[in-house]
Amino acid sequence: MELLRNDPDEDRRRTYSGTLQIFTHCNDAIKAAAVTATVIPPLVAMLCGSSDEAREAGAELLGLLAADNDANRTAIAKTGAIPLLLELLLGGSEKSGELAAWALMHLAGGNHSLLADIVEAGALQALVERLRSGAEAGRDVQTIVRVLRSFAWLDITIAADVVAASTLLVEHAAARRRGGAQGAGRGGA
């Protein structure tokens, strides 16, 4: 674990992270040992890495550690991962943004307190922006929709925001289709 945290070589850190990913599929005792051994801080630091691959690996591994483990969720949130995941969601590559959204979904898990922290940090706005920009670019937005739906499932007050965001997206898509159809009609005249 010390190697992962202190190794200046990003490729080796990714290799160590891949090894850690194997361990995350083990039982909760192994996951708890990983947290106890302070794996989470270097993974959070990877969210600020210089390459997309490092940021993607950090987000993916944090999501794996958060899945179905409330102790890991709490430890990840305490290290400051939420704002970094939101930055990655808005400013990262398509893949890193999706992995950040996925990690946020697992971080919220069934923990209403963490969901409140994630929402308060601006997650709904960031997810809606990612959804809008993804739809405009014609990208697959299923991951973002799934994350929004999971947040709404956990907290009914969020459901109204998710419905409002979905409505805006549908209206935007309809307007684009109408604009495309009108443009096609003018081009043929």
Range of the domain at 149: 2-188
Give which of 32, 45, 51, 34 is closest to 5, Cα–Cα: 45
Please count the structural domains in the chain.
Answer: 1
User: Domain containing 42 — which CATH number?
Assistant: 1.25.10.10
Q: Write out pLDDT tens, residues 38-75.
A: 688 889 999 998 889 999 999 999 999 899 888 889 88
pTM of the model: 0.71
Q: Write out pLDDT tens, residues 147-158.
A: 888 888 877 777
Helices (H), the chain: 2-6, 10-24, 28-36, 40-46, 52-66, 70-78, 81-91, 94-108, 112-120, 123-136, 142-154, 156-188
